[in-house]
Amino acid sequence: MSSILSVQNLNKSFGNKHVLHDVSFDIEKGHIVGLVGPNGAGKSTIMKTMLGLFNFQSGTIKVDGQTVTPMKHEALSKVGALVEHPGIYPFLTGWDHLQLFADGDHQLIHIQKIISQLNMDSYIKRKTKGYSLGMKQKLGIALALVNFPELVILDEPMNGLDPESIKDLRDLIISETQQGATFLISSHILSELQRLAQDLLIIDQGRIVETTTMHDLLASQGKQTIMLMTNDDKRARDVLKKARFKMTADPRIEVVATDDSTMPRVLKTLVQANIDILDVSRLEGNLESSLLEVLKQNRIQQKLAMERAE
Amino acid sequence: MWTLVKQELFKLTRKTSTWVSSFILIGIQFLFAILSRIYPTTFIPANMFESLYFARPFITFYMIAATATIITMEFQYGTMKQVLYRRYSRGQILVSKWLAILVYSLYWYVISTGVTLLLRALLFRHSLSIHQNAGYGDTVFTRGLAISAASFVALWIILSLVFLLANVFSNSVAAVSVGIIGYFGTFIVTQLLTMLIQKWDWAKWNPLTMMLYPSMMARPGYYQTLLNMQSWQMLLGSVVYIAIFLSLGYNVFCRRNM
Ligand SMILES: Nc1ncnc2c1ncn2[C@@H]1O[C@H](COP(=O)(O)OP(=O)(O)O)[C@@H](O)[C@H]1O
Ligand SMILES: [Mg+2]
């Protein structure tokens, strides 16, 4: 069995507000998994429930085969986490925090390594009262990693970090996975995870709407658009429309490419119509729009299902 | 479990308030010892000694605040999640906080008793002997110890209530206010309380009566007839209330969403 985390049919309500609906997923050991969805989708709630912070109505949560509930935390010895805002005592230094939460004293070298990897040396011995948002965020990440966790759960870890720190964090995460750690990282911005996550869980309105890989998602968005500039755009549009190419609503000339042959066929058509082509470019559908597309499709399907049920 | 208690104590020692208050406490004791030395008829040396030179009310206030904040600061700083999502169970986390507060309250009693003995030796070497008879077969010293022990038990009734309230409200203002009202309220309603007890004997088993345990140790003859209780009954009642409040707080803490 190679899954480090297994969540099955998890349902969670706050009062009569049903927030998680039958959430099920598995995380493979050694992978970096992105949990992606808009604000309020339930990302933090899933993470908090997995960490035994919330009671839940039904379902099971297993870390390395061991069940976790609000009253049963033994399995969490393998887990390190940062959920929502880092919890920081203003009257302690960063170093105090790391020492406080480190199990055993033999970890000084490891603590030192994390500090320097995140570039925290200059302020780690200062009281956290004076830390900036980004400094606190980094300390929170360091705390999540301090006990050599097998599974690391990070909730929107890039929040408040400058580009340089984001790079440091990315490098740190990759170096930890090379040593065998598994990561579950949430974000409402997919591109933050683009160079990091292998597997993706897409969540919306408390439901996992798609379980995929970053590779497949990037490939599936293959709906590229070809953009053209000609000496007579109006006539070009008419010609292409007549030739039954799929056009976008844009007043410029944008053709939706259905396969690799679209581009040569478009060019040939225009040349035959005696239109001069001034410029051709391909628009890569970007990552955010493909996420939005997945979410939109899911909402449409849900609406249809509801109408059918009525 | 010992690791968790150590972590809680570590946090307490890193708080400036621990050290500042220790100095304030010693300052208060010095002040009252000097007053007692200058005005021995108003501040009777034997009584002042027994009251640890006014240290107990200060300790009570301070411990009420410390108990409320050991719970509520975790919510205020958002650290409760971090404390909880480790391998330790919720119960262990809460019990470690009880034990840390127990150690902390003992610290205050030891400090204030030590300072009291020191002040007696410094300022009242010739005028007050700790072996002096204090009535009911007690010396000044043993009476002082008996009051300390009783007030420690009474303090814990309040602290267990504060633990409960801090867990319910996650807000120190509510917990501290009720704690302080509980402490003072007792002295205000003593008369009403004794009237009730004279009418219905079972009324003596309410928690406010238990708060009079230290007063009973100071004037055993007077309070025993007034409240119609023996000191062992007071102790028993106190322990039962502490257990009730702590276990209610335990249940609240283990069930809530964090
Ligand atoms: N403690 C709570 N009490 C009531 N509702 C909550 C609580 N925490 C979260 N929610 C609700 O659950 C939903 C999911 O929230 P959350 O998990 O924080 O979303 P995300 O992290 O994906 O932005 C939201 O509608 C939010 O209002
Ligand atoms: Mg969130």
**What domain range is A272 assigned to?**
225-283
Same domain (yes/no): A267, A138? no
Task: Write down the pTM of the prediction.
Answer: 0.82
Out of A171, A186, A218, pick the residue that ends a domain.
A218
Which one-letter DSSP state was computed for residue A93?
B
Same domain (yes/no): A86, A174? yes
Same domain (yes/no): A277, A212? no
Question: Nearest ligand to the C-alpha of residue A39?
Answer: 1
The alpha carbon of residue A227 is apart from the nearest alpha carbon of chain B, in Å, by 50
Q: Do residues A185 and A35 make contact, with C-beta atoms less than 8 angstroms apart?
A: yes
Out of A202, A218, A234, pick the residue that ends a domain.
A218
**Which of B80, B87, B90 has its CB closest to that of A70?**
B90
Helices (H) and strands (E) in chain A, counts: 10, 13
* Mean pLDDT (whole number) for A151-168: 91
End-to-end CA distance of chain A: 42
pLDDT of residue A48: 94
Q: Give the residues of chain B that fall short of pLDDT 70.
A: none
**Which of A70, A87, A143 has its CB closest to that of B77?**
A87
What is the pLDDT confidence band of residue A222, given thresholds at 50, 70 and 90?
A: low
Number of structural domains (chain B) is 1
Residues in A touching B83 (Cβ below 8 Å): 87
Same domain (yes/no): A82, A211? yes
- Of the candidates A188, A183, A84, A71, the residue with the CA atom closest to the CA atom of residue A136: A84
A291 domain-assigned: no
ipTM of the assembly?
0.84
- % pLDDT > 70, chain A: 94
| Rg of chain B taking only CA atoms, in angstroms | 20
Same domain (yes/no): A141, A266? no
pLDDT of residue A309: 78
Same domain (yes/no): A90, A52? yes
Q: In this structure, what token pair is assigned to residue A153?
A: 């759960």
Q: In this structure, what token pair is assigned to residue A154?
A: 């990070």
Same domain (yes/no): A213, A238? no
A310 domain-assigned: no
CB of A276 within 8 Å of a chain B CB? The answer is: no
Q: pLDDT at residue A71 above 90?
A: no
CB neighbour class for A7 (10 Å; exposed up to 12, middle 13-18, buried from 19): buried
A64 domain-assigned: yes
A150 domain-assigned: yes
> What CA–CA distances, in Å, run from A266 to A81, A138, A223, A229, A276?
52, 51, 16, 12, 13
CB neighbour class for A264 (10 Å; exposed up to 12, middle 13-18, buried from 19): exposed
Same domain (yes/no): A55, A97? yes
Each residue's pLDDT tens digit, B90-126: 899 999 999 999 999 999 999 999 999 999 988 888 8
A82 domain-assigned: yes
Same domain (yes/no): A67, A33? yes
Each residue's pLDDT tens digit, A110-146: 889 889 999 999 999 999 999 999 999 999 999 999 9
A215-249 b/e (C-beta count within 10 Å ≥ 16 → b):
eebeeebeebbbbbebeeeeebbebbeeeebeeee
A102 domain-assigned: yes
Cβ atoms within 10 Å, residue A14: 10
**Mean of all residue pLDDT scores within chain A:** 88
Out of A170, A194, A218, pick the residue that ends a domain.
A218
A29 domain-assigned: yes
Phi and psi at residue B85, to the nearest 5°: -85, 45
pLDDT of residue B1: 86
A96 domain-assigned: yes
**What domain range is B210 assigned to?**
2-255
End-to-end CA distance of chain B: 21
The alpha carbon of residue A25 is apart from the nearest alpha carbon of chain B, in Å, by 21
